[in-house]
Amino acid sequence: MSDKPWGGAFEQPTDQLLEKFSESVSFDHRLYAQDIRGSIAHARMLAAVGVLTGEERDQIVEGLATIGEEIAAGQFAFRTSLEDVHMNIERVLTERIGDVGRKLHTGRSRNDQVSTDFRLWIRDAIDHLDHLAKNLQRAFVHRATLDEGVILPGYTHMQRAQPVLAAHYWLAYVEKLERDRQRLADCRRRVNQLPLGTAALAGTTIPINRQMVADELEFEGVVANSLDSSSDRDFALEFGFVLTQISLHLSGWAEEWILWCTTEFGFLKLPDAFCTGSSIMPQKKNPDGVELIRGKTARVVGNLQALITLVKGLPLAYNRDLQEDKERVFDSFDTVAACLELATPMVAGAELQRENIAAGIDRGYLDATTLMEYLITAGVPQRTAHELIGKLVGTAMKKNCRLADLDLAEFTAAHELLDDNVYEVLGVRRAVEAFKSLGSTNPALVAEQVEAWKQRLT
Ligand code: ARG
């Protein structure tokens, strides 16, 4: 009555509604290459332990390889009635090579098969993302060289705070991406454990060799406990979080650039190739690319939320709920990969509006903290120095001038240690040069960092 590979005990065909509702091949076909690779490794192992003859193994391996080529070429018709990518491939194999194909599923279940395929897929995805993130890091480091010497106002609370080198600003994003790459590498270690061979949930009575399969598929080890293994989606959640973290980093960068492109800021010009226009306002050049990078973070965060909620309260071993994991992971991967890919030429191609930035750099008393630290270095307690310089800033605000425009008499009246040497630390250029601490925006230290990153990213 049922044409399903699992239909032996069934007396009715599957209802059309359930068939449509439960199929996954419409999206898990993306696992086909991993499924074939995993099945080939499984077949080779079955032959090595004497379950298949050498001839049977070769028939299976060749049949699978041909199916793989056909799928890659778009010449394979997936059938919804066969539920998922695993049963589609196995059924067609059997239709072609006959009963030998019916031996392939020995000692395994779709529960360990899907987990194996998914881990292989995520492993490839991680490697691809690492490559994309590294390219974006390179673009930021390149900018650090292009914009050497440019000083930007640094903000806290979106209020002007202290001056920073543009190179220092760009390297901040290089660091964030570096941590993302470390997280990818760390996630990869836990992804890279073989579940295959845990079979349905309890293992198998067939004398399989899991280590052999792990070696062939380049897994670092085998998952130890079969019950844990068939229920475990930690690796998918972790990957979902790493993708979310990358997205969050990109969204902050995007937000800054959206602001920088405004007339009010006027800090940045995006190339026309990376702007879009308005259908009604002829003058508009909108930063839609960066806005969408900011916006797409929402779906990546949503996907992670869905994954977390999916596994909440699930009992041990396989439950069909787990089929819902793949679309969320695929979508987050596609989204973040596209964002990284788009961000790279934008970062490389944008131009700082140096004149605008320089014209406004003296606004906001960016050198006030440096002057305070000058007094502290001369021996004045921090709280006292803070108050004194605060008063001087107040005076300058009333006069609508810079600290450097105040008369020497005004400085010495505020504190006797404020002699004409103060002019040596005032102004953003001198303020930037006065920084000393490791990790600060001090030009020599920043230049060292740029050099170090160039070496690291070659
Ligand atoms: N399509 C299923 C999934 O993605 C494969 C595993 C199905 N296992 C089962 N016992 N029905 O999770």
Least confident of 153-162, 189-198, 276-285, 410-419: 276-285
The full DSSP string for 220-286 is: SEE-S-HHHHHH--HHHHHHHHHHHHHHHHHHHHHHHHHHHTSTTT--EE--GGG-B--SS-TT--B
Structure tokens at 96: 């072609």
Listed in order, the ranges of the chain carrying CATH 1.10.275.10 are 14-106
pLDDT at position 77 over 90: yes
Reduced to 3 states (helix: H, G, I; strand: E, B; else coil), residue 194 is: strand
Per-residue pLDDT tens for 33-54? 999 999 999 999 999 999 999 9
Per-residue pLDDT tens for 81-119? 999 999 999 999 999 999 999 999 999 999 999 999 999
Average of per-residue pLDDT across 250-279 = 95
Residue 428 CA, chain-centre distance (Å), reads 35
- 111 CA to centre of ligand 1 in angstroms: 6
Whole-angstrom distance, CA of residue 208 vs CA of residue 214: 12
Asked whether the beta carbons of 192 and 220 are under 8 A apart, the reply is: yes
Q: How many CA atoms lie within 13 A of 359 on its CB side?
A: 8
Q: Please give the number of the atom of ligand 1 that sits closest to the Cα of 28.
A: 4
Buried b (16+ CB within 10 A) or exposed e, 195-212: bbbbbebebbeeebebeb
- Pairing type for strands 221-222 and 193-194 reads parallel
Q: Please give the number of the atom of ligand 1 that sits closest to the Cα of 85.
A: 1
- 89 CA to centre of ligand 1 in angstroms: 14
- 419 CA to centre of ligand 1 in angstroms: 78
pLDDT at position 457 over 70: yes
Is residue 28 in contact with ligand 1, taking CB distance under 6 Å? yes
What is the C-alpha radius of gyration for the chain, rounded to an integer number of angstroms?
A: 30
Q: 157 an active-site residue?
A: yes
Pocket residue to mutate for ligand 1, from 34, 116, 323, most atoms within 8 A of Cβ = 323
Strand partners, 153: 163
Average of per-residue pLDDT across 276-292 = 90
Q: How far is CA 240 from CA 25, 33, 137, 332, 336, in A?
A: 22, 22, 21, 7, 10
Residue 438 DSSP label: T
Q: Tell me, what's the pLDDT at 280?
A: 87
Q: Please give the number of the atom of ligand 1 that sits closest to the Cα of 326.
A: 4
Strand partners, 286: 276
Q: What angle do CA 217, 234, 126 make, to 5 degrees?
A: 50
Q: Tell me, what's the pLDDT at 3?
A: 77
Is residue 115 in contact with ligand 1, taking CB distance under 6 Å? no
Buried b (16+ CB within 10 A) or exposed e, 390-399: eebbeebeee
| 1 pLDDT tier (thresholds 50, 70, 90) | low
Is residue 329 in contact with ligand 1, taking CB distance under 6 Å? no
Q: Tell me, what's the pLDDT at 285?
A: 87
Pocket residue to mutate for ligand 1, from 22, 110, 116, 119, most atoms within 8 A of Cβ = 110
| 18 pLDDT tier (thresholds 50, 70, 90) | very high
Catalytic residue among 29, 81, 157, 230: 157
Q: In sequence order, what E strands does 302-426 have?
A: 351-352
| 29 pLDDT tier (thresholds 50, 70, 90) | very high
**CATH H superfamily, domain 111-150+165-358:** Fumarase/aspartase (Central domain) (1.20.200.10)
Is residue 56 in contact with ligand 1, taking CB distance under 6 Å? no
Whole-angstrom distance, CA of residue 85 vs CA of residue 121: 13
Whole-angstrom distance, CA of residue 235 vs CA of residue 28: 17
Instruction: Write out the H or E segment, with its range, that includes residue 93.
Output: helix 85-97
Average of per-residue pLDDT across 392-400 = 97
Architecture of the 365-456 domain: Orthogonal Bundle (1.10)
Listed in order, the ranges of the chain carrying CATH 1.10.40.30 are 365-456
Architecture of the 14-106 domain: Orthogonal Bundle (1.10)
Residue 125 CA, chain-centre distance (Å), reads 10
Q: 22 an active-site residue?
A: no
Is residue 25 in contact with ligand 1, taking CB distance under 6 Å? no
| 5 pLDDT tier (thresholds 50, 70, 90) | confident
Pocket residue to mutate for ligand 1, from 14, 22, 24, most atoms within 8 A of Cβ = 24
